[in-house]
Amino acid sequence: MTGWSASGLYAQALAQTLAAGANAPQWNNTANKFYLTSNSDTPAYNASLASSVYASGAPEIYGTGWAAGGIAVSALATGSTTLAPSFTYATAPPTVLQWAANNVSVATTTIAGAYGGYFYSSTASYLYKIIGIYFGGSGYSTTAGTFAITWSGGLIATITCATTT
Amino acid sequence: MSRSRSGREHPESGEPFKTTTDELGNDVTEHGARGAGVSDRQDVEIHAETVNMELGSF
């Protein structure tokens, strides 16, 4: 099956983070970027670490107001402000680590056919993809308009750490 | 099933608009003509589900 079908965390890039490995992707680094792809892209969340990286060219989607390589987290929210990603915790059972952020809102964009996008680390030569965000199965386009992503409950991702406190 | 709503003045563009929420829950807003001018502005708002992951065995 080709194309987007789900959101997901890149397992080996996550392991690199948890292990504080070389050039480990830092989830809350506002120099990280978010880029878009078409449905010619098939996310592989089980990819090797070497393959869990941003690569320029097709199937990336970009256009007016949305640069190739994506937009820095520091400028993804309304008015080119930061998403301010952060970790919060829900301590009532279950114990859940929450990755929270402001919503994406980039004005005056013209892009065509975005099926999903990725946050990726900005560390030069180690552009690890952290997470893929699936848009649900359609290609979305803007014309001189705002491209926005609203996170359910303000959360990009959650990690259930334990069923207890 | 998709559903649409419209208004005479969008808060950002000030133009008549129609917002369609598709079957995936995402919104596409088309900004329409006002006076002699015609806008072709189109906005998109994706409503992303939170990615949930569990560590360990429960």
Establish how many alpha carbons lie within 13 A of residue B40's alpha carbon, considering only the half-sphere containing its beta carbon: 6
Confidence of residue B5 (pLDDT cuts 50, 70, 90): very high
DSSP state at residue A153: G
Residue found under tokens 């990336």? A60
Contact at 8 Å (CB) between A71 and A78? no
pLDDT at B57 over 60: no
Per-residue pLDDT reduced to its tens digit, A62-95:
999 999 999 999 999 999 999 999 999 988 888 8
* Domain coordinates in residue numbering, chain B: 3-45
Would the pLDDT of A1 be above 80?
no
pLDDT of residue B58: 56
Chain B nearest-CA distance from A19, in A, is 15
Q: How many domains does chain A have?
A: 1
| pLDDT tier at B13, thresholds 50, 70, 90 | confident
Per-residue pLDDT reduced to its tens digit, A89-143: 988 888 899 999 999 999 999 999 999 999 999 888 899 999 999 999 999 999 9
DSSP symbols for A93-150:
SSEEEEEE-PPEEEEEEEEEEE-EEEEE--STT--BEEEEEE-SSS-EEEEEEEEEEE
Query: Which among A89, A99, A149, A165 is the top mutation candidate for probing chain B, defined by the most B β-carbons within 10 Å of its own β-carbon?
Result: A149
Q: Which residues are paired to B28 by β-bridges?
A: B20, B44
pTM: 0.92
Q: What is the pLDDT of residue A2?
A: 87
- Across B26-55, average pLDDT: 84
Mean pLDDT of B24-33: 91
**Which CA distances in Å does A141 have to A133, A160, A163?**
16, 34, 40
CA–CA separation, B3 and A112 (whole Å)? 22
| Span B31-40, pLDDT tens digits | 986 544 567 8
CA–CA gap between residue A51 and residue B26 (Å, rounded): 30
pLDDT at residue A18, rounded to an integer: 82
Q: Residue A98 falls within a domain, yes or no?
A: no
Whether the Cβ atoms of residue A118 and residue A35 lie closer than 8 Å to each other: yes
Chain B residue nearest residue A18, CA to CA:
B55
What is d(CA A141, CA A41) in angstroms, rounded to the nearest whole number? 16
Provide the β-strand partners of residue B46: A149
Q: What is the ipTM of this complex?
A: 0.90
- Give the distance from residue B46's alpha carbon to the nearest chain A alpha carbon, in angstroms: 4
Identify all chain A residues contacting B47, using CB atoms and an 8 Å cutoff.
149-150, 152
Tens of pLDDT, residue by residue over A144-164, are 999 999 999 999 999 998 887
Tell me what pLDDT residue B36 has.
44
**Interatomic CA distance for residues A150 and A50, integer angstroms:** 30
pLDDT digits (tens, 9 = 90+) for A27-53: 999 999 999 999 999 999 999 999 999
Instruction: Give the closest residue to A10 by CA, choosing from A117, A145, A129.
Output: A129
Interface residue of B50, B54, B58 to substitute, partner A, most A CBs within 10 Å: B50
Q: Is B43 on the interface with A (CB under 8 A)?
A: yes
Residue A37 domain boundaries? 8-83+105-151
Q: In this predicted model, what pLDDT tens digit does every residue of A4-28 receive, in sequence order?
A: 999 998 988 888 888 888 889 999 9
Judged by a CB distance cut-off of 8 A, whether residue B10 touches chain A is no
Of B40, B47, B53, which has the smallest distance from its Cβ to A159's Cβ? B53
